[in-house]
Structure 1
């Protein structure tokens, strides 16, 4: 269950510490759109994930530079060893998932079963193991409470280079502010890729640390949020009150 805004405000993220996140970038070059299609993505999804607004350009430009571990992301995390845990946070239940490289997922929800199902669906080929690692949990909770974590928080972003560019742009949005999808597209030098930016926000799997909740429609409406508009509204309201 979503906890009251006042509780979130008492745990606010100070000085926008998202700017201090170190991103784990794994570069894998010489991939193309057909690679994504062979792994089960639809033509529109493969195009948007790579930053194309139309279906023509992926075929005009066959070689894309994708930032992902070789085959892991496209094959459901094959070869990845992931540890996860579920705990209560100020936004309800939180699922924290770690790879050896860093935080691979931070989900929000109301049901343990639903959170585990989401993780298993997204990383269906990975080796998943439940963990009670209190050190990592405390480290993340300290960060979310505005404290400086004892250890650097590393986010293991698994996705195309376009998605990672969008997610890095999201992490630069200051606390208490928001950006439109078109503004984010312009900030990464892709002003015509608004739909692709929206999809990258929707596929962000690291809540709060990559603050996709700070992106709104051109008219100021909330639009969608992977973990529910109620949470998005609560987060934005709490941040704007500071």
Structure 2
């Protein structure tokens, strides 16, 4: 997939990994980048086109697909961590995580798949996590939503192949963003996530394992279940 001259849509683009993607795409010569955000006033990055896009709002999704009818790359980055405990409290936060991370990705993809097809196939990038595969005691609802999103990504890879769309799943451990400010663990810079993903996109690779922990956990999927538990 050629980045130079491409037209990209990035959801959750106003900060963190989404903002890093918008910057990296522009730096590599993308002709246009639509920044999908719930509040367009917060999309102040020079060179981007703000696009009102709440991934849980069907009307906004449809309007975004119409406005960005020239898109050749869609980056499903929007996501939340609600911090739901495993055995205490309500499950409302976990329902929101599933609604945004899983159903939101699915809804955006459904709307933009015909757009990508009309523009030659293009590419769909889903921002996943090592939590797709690994036990996460701190954020079990988030991990479950990412596991569901990984399964969806695999289905989309097969389903969109006939129209020539490359589907890319991106896995990484902790990334240095606002969401992980309270986490005392090694973190990957958001810019590195974006850079390595665009490198892989340029090579037409369907999966990106950004850091060592994602590579180790991916390799452990065929091993004993204990290997998928977090280190103590």
Do the two structures share a fold, i.e. TM-score over 0.5? no
Q: More helix per residue: 1 or 2?
A: 2
- With normalisation by structure 1, the TM-score equals 0.27
